[in-house]
Amino acid sequence: MSAQVAVVGFGYVGSCVGAVLASKKYQVTGIDPSEKVVSSINSGTAAINEPGLGDLVAQAVADGHLTATSSFDPVKEADVVIVTVGTPMDDAGEPDTTQVSQACRQVAQNLQPGQLVVLKSTVPPGTTEGIAQPILEESGLQAGKDFFLAFCPERLAEGRALHELQVLPVVVGGVDQESTTRAGDFWEEALGLPTVRVSDARTAELSKLADNWWIDLSIAMGNELAQLSDKLNVDVLEVIEAANSLPKGRHHVNILTPSMGVGGSCLTKDPWFVHHMAEEHGLSLRLPSAGRAINDEMPGYTYSLISDGLAKADKPIETAKVSVLGVAFKNNTGDVRLTPTRDLIALLEGSGAHLSVFDPWVDPSEFSYVTSVEPCDNLAEAIEDADCVAFLTGHDDFKRLEIAELAELTAPGCLIVDGRMYFSRAQIEEMEQLGLRYRGIGR
């Protein structure tokens, strides 16, 4: 019989990890207090909009490899328990590990000898040993002897989650050598993944934060380079492509692409986890907050591209029709958590512009987090007679729109603002030939 896995916290990460393991014929139970999540999974439907997940969940449920429940009883039968609950940032900007403590307490009440517990939530270094382990040991079982405990950070990127879960190396840091070995062997056997086995859980925890700190900073550099490129009248994407051709160390220079902003529940908080962790140790780090500040300013920068562009065309923003395409924080996902589009839309709403919004990936019930404007039903309706079309995400649905159709449907001389589409030079030339005006971030 195939190994049993309990995935505790069946949100974005949990449902992706659970569905992929179920597709490899593991017997997976998703445990989540949310009735919406549980009923949606048990009816064979994913509760989130991630490419490919719906089909994987439907198949796994039909095959009897995946079920969901709010009860922690299935933990008793599991060979492996994977904890993927949320770790939000609290109002003071500090990590809130309440869900981790609560989940571990409920796991402890059902913990059995020989089980492997893997913590995947992003946590401040010291959480696995300092919070998860003592709570799990309230069961009377001892980590490293009676059960095994490791931290294996989740590094998937939304929009590519299912692919990345099956190719990215897994960092493994156990609370002892045996825990590292068991957790590493599990990921190698389950998904055929390479593992990076580090000295302890603390090292693995810090490595996850280092990844997201680096990503946020490299985007921040791309964003500042874009602003300078705008002043110098060069195309930032050409600058970055040329700069990134330089080998340095074991890899290449890798400046990430600029955009209208950074959102989601990871990059917006993890650099702050680093900042607060350092403060607790008497260190005042400057880079985490600098990267955050630069990226947080990008919606405002994008707003100025829109208002200046409209003003130059003698179409004051106060009376212009502005069409916003995409409100999710990431291309090809329906996730609006901490989306930077919300800040830009608030500025547009405040300007008096007549707004239309459309995002085929976002559930209509989630739109209210971003805007009070009623979303359009389709793209054509959203851009009809627009003086400005602001592409705030680069969903594939938008990439299928022909430039000629864009010109035909919008008002003459429409301003196209490119927040994340990265239109090619040929497409930009076609826009200009058809009377459209193009502005990108750093382009």
* CB closer to ligand NAD, 34 vs 59: 34
Question: Smallest gap, in angstroms, from Cβ of residue 243 to ligand NAD?
Answer: 28
Question: Smallest gap, in angstroms, from Cβ of residue 334 to ligand NAD?
Answer: 12
HEC string of 393-408 equals CCCHHHHCCCHHHHHH
Q: Is the dihedral of CA 338, 340, 343, 348 positive or negative?
A: negative
* CB closer to ligand NAD, 292 vs 439: 292
> Applying CB under 6 A, which of residues 102, 203, 218, 227 lies at the interface with ligand NAD?
102
* CB closer to ligand NAD, 97 vs 427: 97
Strand arrangement of the beta sheet that strand 321-325 belongs to: 354-358, 321-325, 388-391, 415-418, 437-440
What is the Cα 380 distance to its own chain's centre? 28
Q: Which of residues 360-389 bind ligand NAD (CB under 6 A)?
A: none
Task: Determine, following the binding rule CB under 6 A, whether residue 17 of this chain makes contact with ligand NAD.
Answer: no
Q: Which of residues 60-99 bind ligand NAD (CB under 6 A)?
A: 84-87, 99
Task: Determine, following the binding rule CB under 6 A, whether residue 333 of this chain makes contact with ligand NAD.
Answer: no
* CB closer to ligand NAD, 89 vs 434: 89
Burial of 304 (0-12, 13-18, 19+ CB in 10 A): exposed
> Token pair for residue 11?
């949100």
Which region, judged by CB under 6 A, interacts with ligand NAD, from 4-12, 54-62, 74-82, 128-136?
Answer: 4-12
Q: How far apart are CA 117 and CA 143, in angstroms?
A: 10
* CB closer to ligand NAD, 215 vs 386: 215
Contact letters (x/-) for ligand NAD, 253-282, by CB under 6 A? Answer: ------------xx----------------
Q: How far apart are CA 252 and CA 233, in angstroms?
A: 26
Q: Which residues contact 108 (CB under 8 A, 6 or more apart)?
A: 135, 136, 137, 138, 139
Q: How far apart are CA 38 and CA 305, in angstroms?
A: 44
Phi-psi region of 387 (alpha: psi -120 to 50; beta: other; left: phi over 0): alpha
Q: Which of residues 120-149 bind ligand NAD (CB under 6 A)?
A: 121-122
Cβ atoms of 123 and 149 within 8 Å: the answer is no
Task: Determine, following the binding rule CB under 6 A, whether residue 158 of this chain makes contact with ligand NAD.
Answer: yes
Question: Smallest gap, in angstroms, from Cβ of residue 92 to ligand NAD?
Answer: 18
Q: Strand pairing of 116-119 and 195-197?
A: unpaired
> Applying CB under 6 A, which of residues 9, 18, 74, 173 lies at the interface with ligand NAD?
9
Task: Determine, following the binding rule CB under 6 A, whether residue 317 of this chain makes contact with ligand NAD.
Answer: no
Task: Determine, following the binding rule CB under 6 A, whether residue 30 of this chain makes contact with ligand NAD.
Answer: no
Which region, judged by CB under 6 A, interacts with ligand NAD, from 8-16, 188-196, 251-259, 345-353?
Answer: 8-16
Task: Determine, following the binding rule CB under 6 A, whether residue 11 of this chain makes contact with ligand NAD.
Answer: yes
CA triple 229-217-174, angle to 5 deg? 160
Which region, judged by CB under 6 A, interacts with ligand NAD, from 57-65, 139-147, 152-160, 229-237?
Answer: 152-160
What is the Cα 101 distance to its own chain's centre? 23
Q: Which of residues 178-237 bind ligand NAD (CB under 6 A)?
A: none
Question: Smallest gap, in angstroms, from Cβ of residue 8 to ligand NAD?
Answer: 5
DSSP helix, strand, coil percent of the chain (3-state; round to 5): 45, 15, 40
How long is the chain? 443
* CB closer to ligand NAD, 265 vs 410: 265
Amino acid identity, position 118: V
* CB closer to ligand NAD, 175 vs 266: 266
Write down the number of H helices and E strands in the chain: 18, 15
Using Cβ positions, the residue closest to ligand NAD within the complex turns out to be 11
> Applying CB under 6 A, which of residues 3, 4, 24, 33 lies at the interface with ligand NAD?
33
Q: Which residues bind ligand NAD (CB under 6 A)?
A: 8-14, 31-34, 37, 84-87, 99, 102-103, 121-122, 154, 156, 158, 265-266
